[in-house]
Amino acid sequence: MEFSYFPGCTLKTKARDLDETARLAAEALGVTLRELPEWQCCGAVYPMSREEIAVRLSSVRALMAARDEGRPLLTLCSACHHVMKRVNHDMQTDEGLRTKANNYLQPDKPYAGETRVVHYLEMLRDEVGFGEVARKVTSPFKGVKIAAYYGCMLLRPSAVMRFDNPENPSVMEDFISAIGAAPVRFPYRNECCGGYVALDDRGAARKASRRVTRAAAQHGAEALITACPLCLYNLKENGGGEVPVHYFTEFLAAALGLKTLEGGLARAS
Amino acid sequence: MQRIGVFVCWCGSNIAATVDVDAVAQAVKTEPGVAFSTNYQYMCSEGGQAIIRNAIAEHKLTGIVVCACSPRMHEATFRKTAATAGLNPYMVEIANIREQCSWIHKDREKATVKAIILSRAAVAKLNLDSPLTAGETPVTKRALVIGGGIAGIQTALDIADAGYEVDIVEKTPTIGGKMAMLDKTFPTLDCSACILTPKMVDAAAHEKITLYTYSEVEKVSGFVGNFTVDIRKRARSVDADRCTGCGDCMEKCPSKKSKSEFNQGLSNRSAIYIPFAQAIPNVPVIDREACIKFQTGKCGVCQKICSAKAVDYEQQDEIMTRRYGAIVAATGFKTINLGRFEEFQYAQSPDVITSLEFERLCNAAGPTKGKVMRLSNHETPKTVVFVQCVGSRSTVECGKTYCSKICCMYTAKHAMLLKEKYPETEVYVFYIDVRTPGKGFDEFYRRAAEEYGVRYVKGMVGKVAEENGRLRVQASDLIADKQLVIEADMVVLAAAIEPDPSARNLATLLTASMDTNDFFTEAHPKLRPVESPTAGVYLSGVCQGPKDIPDTVSQAGAAAAKVIGLLAKDKLVGNPCVAGCNEPLCNGCSACELVCPYGAITYEEKTVMDHGVREQRRVASVNEALCQGCGACTVTCPSGAMDLKGFTNLQIMAEVDAICR
Amino acid sequence: MPINAESGEFKPMIVAFCCNWCSYAGADLAGSSRLSYPADVKIIRVPCSCRVNPLFMLRAFQRGADGVIMCGCHPGDCHYTSGNYFARRRMALLFSMLEYLGIEKGRVRVEWVSAAEGQKFAITMNQFAETVAALGECKRLEDLRCQP
Amino acid sequence: MRVDEKTLAEDIVRMSGTNVKKCMKCGKCSATCPSFEDMDVHPHSFVTMAEEGDVAGLLKSKSLWKCLSCFACVERCPRGVEPAHLIEAVRFFALSPQGLNKMKPDVVPIFLQNLEEKGAEVPQQLLTSAFRKYSK
């Protein structure tokens, strides 16, 4: 199994843990990640207004590069995944944008959304299979109660993302079960943490993230996992320390016996 | 060559004032085939008709053209006149020189010229007319009703009361349908079971009605008046003739973990079961998926304890073939799957329920004996939030674009029943619009708000979250422009309704059309609302569109009246202006079969003479009893084999030629 | 087609196909409401707009018609449920072919007229006749097989 | 500010790609919005104002900067109206004239300093999105 890999800017700096554990785990699971030779920031925010063309171009370049390599494009950060999938969808469905982007980039072969964009979790679910993940687990997190935080960008808008049931997703819970832990479902796992305004409106960010961490703690979660560096930052920084937050890949790498969980688990026992 | 008589009517001064009727009569004399022409003050009067009859006899006419008012007015009159004079009634053509000439033109000269042209076109058409005879088919005096809910029961009772045999085919083990599950009915709040069960008993006891429960329609052939239907009677594993309905088997059955369909999964039932106490027939059925005997071969308790020796594990499905004159679809509805509306936490919290589940909780014969309780902890809820339009009026993938029609009223009912039982309960209803078009309906809803203190809030619920054992409901109050957060104990979702999934397959069997939502389409949305476009197929209840009980019962009666009207006839006289296939020209392409909205065209292997060569070929064949004469097939036919009697290609071309001469 | 000898005024020849259930009844209503439209319009009654074979229209143009209009029930109101949808598609194809043959767009038209729309019928016919009159005499499609 | 409000309103709606006429005023967007309390103009009013061409009201609303772009309104709208897309289009027009930036370049170091003093690991993603949104 080979994928073109788009790490994104944060995974090269502040979210090195996410990148590193993901690569280790992929290798152990027999998945080869080939980082795109040259990539640029995806823009971090999907340009919702239809006429913004320039900010879509870097994503189109990455998508096109993956197409030329003949592989699906794998992403990890929720924001990158969101932007890539939506821009790809635009390229498939919006003729105006497609024409403009191709006119601008002048590629040898025009791009029309041929690349399949796959999130790391989708790869685990659909390509590797959680059964296989479970078989490879050497140090299961037996009895540990873990809550999954999906956030906004992986799930919505579901008509484009087609990631999971947007209101009752299960891929991360299935992942938690696969590493031997007990998934905790809580109602705010798909509500916004407010990370988007964490820089300039800390009050709003705090309010939104506390709602998430508190609900997770109330439902008995011992840890919260996420796929998104911004969510992780915000839930840690503004979530009031109700529950420890980790990348899901940290747990994966630990369960596969590749790298111990940073900070361990502060368990009551 | 035809011998045509042309009769120009004055219509008093209606025509004669603007059109020179004599000039018209003179002008058409020279048209090919015209043997006689005249004019008269009122052709439709007895005197006028006598002139026509006499002329037919005297001039040995083979057809007549009447230049008068619209054919929509007197075509039938003149056809009868022709028939009494011994002519084929279809050897009559009308030139509309009143509505489409004298009444709209003022210039006498222009109007006269136009009247001549119109008359000439009618003559040209008549020259190509040939006598037509309407086909006759006998009627099997027995009706089939598919679906045993209130719609099917009512239709069957009305037909049976008129003296005709009716069979009801119901796919579940009992008749009664959704109405049997309801607690009270709006707007009178009388108990649903109290008004339904007597009807169920009537249906079962009626000498003209035969019930086939746990049965499905498998095959339909034939056409109006003459359907042949295969019914699969699924094996109950219990001999209905022997069973006394004592219920011992259900009590002793060790497999008791199946969800009760009747209680919306809120309680369990045994593998051998009767859906509810008043079920008809009162004969258990074995759910073979759940039965230990059928799954493992070990058990057989029910057979051992049955003193009537009714339990029969060897019973097989039975296919019965029956003939019917008319078929009524009454397949009803179900609530939509809420899997994509999880912002309301339906699958995740036991305290979030659908309205139909609430109905069972309210019902004294229900799983909680009428005690409304939170399913998580069996406590009485103190705050209850009702959410309207869950999946209705939605244009997104998982919703339904239509209004489900019944939710506003049953929610008002639920709110009232709740307040009646537990006056201290805080009750909220979140609505987009409250729709109450029905007798006494708005008054009913206002009573809920004004007398019972139910809080109606205009706005939608956006998110339900379980917090500290309660439900945090986040919603809009659009009038106050506020976001409300309500700590509720129970949330009741008014899920959209959709046609029962069995309707899709049935529509295919019946060649009855459906709309994009899988509701059956009616023959005409205003004027023929209980008939399907397929002759002999009628619609009753929600299978045609969302309806409450009063509407369903009215429509059920209307469908019955249509069926009775059909069965009362000994013979069906068809419309003779139907399509026909010129077999040597037919290339067997099936294009006509695909466009026919009535399923009137089939293909047959036939021996055809083509240029003196005898050949075996696949050719189209029109069932004249089903064809309604629209002509869609005639234009689709690439080889010109299909033509429409009374409006043939050559006739219309002749009219074109006569007008453009 | 004929040009009035005295006034020199052009009188177009117009054929209107009307379905029996809606448009023909609409034309009757226009009549009983005494709403006038040019006498150049002559109506042919058909059971449904889907009975109108494109050949009928071509025939009209062959025989010297200057304009041909087809009227049917409104979409969704067809007496035979779907006939007018068939008709609409066929006419769309026919009209583009006619344009290809050099017959102006304005000479053909499809209009949905219900049995209650007498006024609409009259207005439609007035407009159509005016449009066709403005286009002048139509070049005649000839069936060469019919030439001597 | 442009003179012709009607044209501007039409531009905004076109750019957002939403069909405001589909809105049936159910208020589910406002019911689901996590920032409702901090907003002066609420999501459902945003749609109505765009429909009515009240551009001035949209451009100066505080809500413009309170929307978290979480797409909950987009996901849950039963009519597929997409209020978040509309808000983004208004932002675009609010930012395009010079000098109307929500956030000036010189305040960013102060934000960062404040955060980093507490040892926060501000991800690039946050900075990128902040700059992308608040300055053109």
Residue D42: closest C-alpha in chain B: B481
> To the nearest whole angstrom, how far is the Cα of B467 from the nearest Cα of chain A?
7
Query: Before B281, cis peptide (omega within 30)?
Result: yes
Closest CA to B489 of B473, B474, B510: B473
Query: Number of A:D CB contacts under 8 A?
Result: 125
Q: How confident is the model at residue B32 (pLDDT cuts 50, 70, 90)?
A: very high
Give chain B positions within 8 Å (CB) of D30. Answer: 459, 462, 476, 478, 483
CB contacts of D79 in chain B (<8 Å) are 394-396
Tokens of B447: 């009573």
- B329 φ/ψ sector (left φ>0, alpha ψ -120 to 50, else beta): beta
Residue ranges covered by each domain of chain B: 4-127, 142-234+317-332+500-567, 248-305, 333-498, 579-645
Which residues in B lie closer than 8 A to residue C76 (C-beta atoms)? Answer: 525
- Tell me: the pLDDT tens digits for B185-209? 999 999 999 999 999 999 999 999 9
pLDDT band at D121 (very low <50, low <70, confident <90, very high): confident
Indicate whether this complex's ipTM tops 0.90: no
Average pLDDT value for residue range D81-107: 78
Can you give the pLDDT at residue C8?
65
Look at residue C26 and tell me whether its pLDDT is greater than 80. yes
Average pLDDT for residues B357-366, to the nearest whole number?
95
- pLDDT value for D117: 66
Quick: pLDDT tens for B596-633: 988 899 999 998 888 888 889 999 999 988 898 999 99
Q: How many CA atoms lie within 13 A of A160 on its CB side?
A: 25
Dump pLDDT digits (tens) for A128-161: 999 999 999 999 999 999 999 999 999 999 999 9
On whether the D5-100 domain is CATH 1.50.10.10, my answer is: no
Q: What's the length of chain B?
A: 661
Q: Helices C83-100 and C54-62 sit at what angle, rounded to 10 degrees? A: 40
For residues D39 and D52, what is the distance between their CA atoms, to the nearest angstrom?
A: 20
Q: Residue C82 — very low, low, confident or very high, per pLDDT cuts 50/70/90?
A: confident
| pLDDT tens by residue, B326-348 | 999 999 999 999 988 999 999 99
- Paired residues of B609 in beta bridges: B614
What is d(CA B148, CA B500) in angstroms, rounded to the nearest whole number?
13
Check whether domain B4-127 has CATH 1.10.20, yes or no: no
* Residue B579 bridge partners (DSSP): B644
Which contiguous run of DSSP H or E holds residue A225?
strand A223-226
pLDDT of D101: 59
A23 neighbors A54 (Cβ within 8 angstroms): no
Considering only CB atoms, B647 lies closest to which of C43, C47, C122, namely C47
Q: List chain D domain ranges.
A: 5-100, 102-136
Q: Does residue D96 contact residue A217 with C-beta atoms inside 8 Å?
A: no
551-590 in chain B: CB under 8 A from chain C: 577
* pLDDT, chain B, mean: 95
Q: Which of C20, C31, C77 sits opposite B100 (nearest CB)?
A: C31
- Structural domains present in chain C: 16-136 (3.40.50)
Q: Do C79 and B653 touch (CB under 8 A)?
A: no
Outline which parts of chain A fall under CATH 1.20.1050.140.
2-120
- Helix H, strand E, coil C: the string for B54-104 is HHHHHCCCCEEEEEECCHHHHHHHHHHHHHHCCCCCCCEEEEECHHHHHCC
**Smallest CA–CA separation between B422 and chain A, in Å?**
29
Hey, of D21, D30, D46, which one would you mutate to test binding to chain B, going by the most B CBs within 10 A of its CB?
Answer: D30
Cβ <8 Å between B105 and C34? no
Of D70, D108, D129, the CB nearest to A192: D70
Neighboring chain A residues of B464 at a CB cutoff of 8 Å: 187
- pLDDT attached to residue B574: 81
CB-based contact D34 A156, cutoff 8 Å: no
In contact, B467 and B423? CB cutoff 8 Å: no
Contact D30 B483 (CB under 8 A): yes
Residues 6+ apart with CB under 8 A from B115: B15, B19, B24, B67, B95, B97, B101, B102
d(CA B452, CA B416): 6
Comparing B4-127 with B333-498, is the CATH topology the same? no
Give A157's contacts in chain D (Cβ within 8 Å): 71, 74-75, 82
Which residues are CB-neighbours of D72 under 8 A, at least 6 positions away? A152, A156, A191, A192, B462, B463, D32, D33, D34
How far apart (Å, rounded) are the C-alpha atoms in residues B604 and B622? Answer: 10
Q: Hey, is B463 helix, strand or coil?
A: strand
The pLDDT assigned to D1 comes to 47
Mean local confidence (pLDDT), B17-26: 96
Nearest 5 degrees, angle CA B377-CA B380-CA B383?
Answer: 105
Report the pLDDT value the prediction gives residue D99, as an integer from 0 to 100: 56
Measured between alpha carbons, how far is A132 from B392 in angstroms, rounded to an integer? 41
Chain B residue with minimal CA distance to A169?
B342
Work out the pLDDT band at A33, boundaries 50, 70, 90: very high
**Residue spans in chain A of domains classed CATH 3.40.50.1860:** 139-255
Provide the 10 A C-beta neighbour count for residue D133: 23
- Residues with Cβ within 8 Å of A116's Cβ and at least 6 positions away in sequence, in order, are A72, A73
Instruction: Give the CATH H-level superfamily of domain B333-498.
Output: FAD/NAD(P)-binding domain (3.50.50.60)
Q: Report d(CA B54, CA B641) in Å as an integer.
A: 39
Residues 6+ apart with CB under 8 A from B438: B187, B409, B548, B550
pTM of the prediction?
Answer: 0.80
For residues D12 and D58, the answer to whether their CB atoms sit within 8 Å is: yes
Cross-chain residue pair B474–D31, CB shorter than 8 Å: yes
| Residue ranges of chain D whose CB lies within 8 Å of a chain A CB | 14-17, 34-35, 38, 65-66, 68-72, 74-75, 82, 84-85, 88-89, 92, 103, 108, 111, 115, 120-130, 132-134
Beta strands in chain D (DSSP E): none
Residues facing residue B285 across a β-bridge: B273
pLDDT band at A267 (very low <50, low <70, confident <90, very high): very low
634-653 in chain B: CB under 8 A from chain C: 634-636, 644, 647, 649, 652-653
CB of A178 within 8 A of CB of A137? yes
Q: Per the structure block, which two tokens stand in for A99? A: 């024409």
User: Cα distance from B502 to chain C (closest Cα, Å)?
Assistant: 23
Strands (E), B159-300: 165-169, 184-185, 190-191, 209-212, 215-223, 226-233, 258-259, 268-269, 272-273, 285-286
Query: In terms of C-beta density within 10 A (0-12 exposed, 13-18 middle, 19 or more buried), how is residue B194 classed?
Result: exposed
CB contact under 8 A, B104 and C35: yes
* B434/B456 Cα distance (integer angstroms): 9
Strands (E) located in C41-115: 41-46, 67-72, 108-112
**Residue whose tokens read 């979409």:** C75
User: Which chain C positions have a beta carbon within 8 Å of B660's beta carbon?
Assistant: 13, 15, 60, 63-65
User: Rounded to the nearest 5°, which phi and psi values hold at B602?
Assistant: -130, 170
**How far is it, in rounded angstroms, from Cα A228 to Cα A154?**
9
Cβ pairs A/B, distance under 8 A: 29
Give A15's pLDDT tier (boundaries 50, 70, 90): confident
pLDDT digits (tens, 9 = 90+) for B551-576: 999 999 999 999 999 999 999 888 89
C39: amino acid identity, one letter = A
Smallest CA–CA distance, residue C28 to chain B, in Å, is 5
What integer pLDDT is reported at residue B166 of this predicted model? 98
D61 touches chain B (CB under 8 A): no
Q: How far is CA A43 from CA A22, A40, A48, A216, in A?
A: 22, 9, 12, 30
D and A touch with 3+ CB pairs <8 Å, answer yes
Right CATH for B142-234+317-332+500-567 from 3.50.50.60, 3.30.499.10, 3.40.50.300, 3.30.110.30: 3.50.50.60
CB contact under 8 A, A199 and D121: no
Q: Which helix (H) or strand (E) holds B616?
A: strand B613-622
Please give the pLDDT value at position B390: 97
Tens of pLDDT, residue by residue over B417-459, are 999 999 999 999 999 999 999 999 999 999 999 999 999 999 9
What's the CA gap between A163 and B397, in Å, rounded? 15
Q: Which CATH architecture has domain A2-120?
A: Up-down Bundle (1.20)
Residues of A in contact with B345 (CB under 8 A): 187
Provide DSSP, B127-174. HT-------EEE---EEEEE--SHHHHHHHHHHHHTT-EEEEE-SSSS
C86 CB within 8 Å of a chain B CB: yes
State yes or no: pLDDT of D100 exceeds 60: no
Cα dihedral value B358, B364, B369, B375, nearest 10 = 10
Chain C nearest-CA residue for B532: C81
Q: What is the mean pLDDT of residues A222-232?
A: 94
C32 to B628: CB separation less than 8 angstroms, yes or no: no
Report how far residue A145's alpha carbon sits from residue B43's, in angstroms, rounded to the nearest whole number: 94
**Pair of tokens at residue D94:** 């609010």
Backbone angles phi, psi at C129, to 5 degrees: -60, -40
Q: Report pLDDT for B288.
A: 96
Q: Residue B230: CB partners within 8 Å, gap ≥ 6?
A: B217, B218, B219, B220, B319, B320, B321
Model confidence band, residue C53 (pLDDT cutoffs 50, 70, 90): very high
B-chain CB neighbours of C79 within 8 Å are: 524, 630
Tell me what the mean pLDDT of segment D41-55 comes to: 92
Read off the pLDDT band of A269 (50, 70, 90). Answer: very low
pLDDT of residue D2: 47
Highest mean pLDDT: which of B282-286, B514-518, D120-124?
Answer: B282-286
D24, D29, D72 ranked by CB distance to B432: nearest: D24
- Which phi and psi (to 5°) does residue A16 adopt? -60, -35
Peptide bond into C148 cis (omega under 30): no
Which subunits sit against A, judged by 3+ Cβ pairs under 8 A?
B, D
Domain B579-645 sits in CATH 3.30.70.3270: yes
**Quick check: A230 contacting D, CB < 8 Å?**
yes
| Whether the bond into B198 is cis, omega within 30 of 0 | no
The predicted structure's pLDDT at residue A144: 95
Beta carbons of A91 and A97 less than 8 angstroms apart = yes
Chain B contact set for C64 (CB, 8 A):
660
Q: Which of D84, D85, D90, D14 is nearest to D56 (CA)?
A: D90
| pLDDT, mean of residues A243-268 | 84
Evaluate whether the domain defined by A139-255 bears CATH number 3.40.50.20.
Answer: no
- In C, residues 7-46, which contact B (CB 8 Å cutoff)? 13, 15, 20, 24-25, 27-28, 30-32, 34-37, 39, 42-46
Least confident of A38-42, B170-174, B498-502: A38-42
What does residue A263 show for φ and ψ, rounded to 5 degrees? 80, -10
Q: How far is B656 from chain C (nearest CA, A)?
A: 6
Give B470's pLDDT tier (boundaries 50, 70, 90).
very high
Residue B349: closest CA among chain A residues belongs to which residue?
Answer: A187
Q: Tokens 């005297």 identify what position? A: B58
pLDDT of residue A12: 86
pLDDT digits over A60-73, tens only? Answer: 999 999 999 999 99
Burial of A145 (C-beta count, 10 Å sphere; 0-12/13-18/19+): middle
User: Does B475 contact chain D (CB < 8 Å)?
Assistant: yes
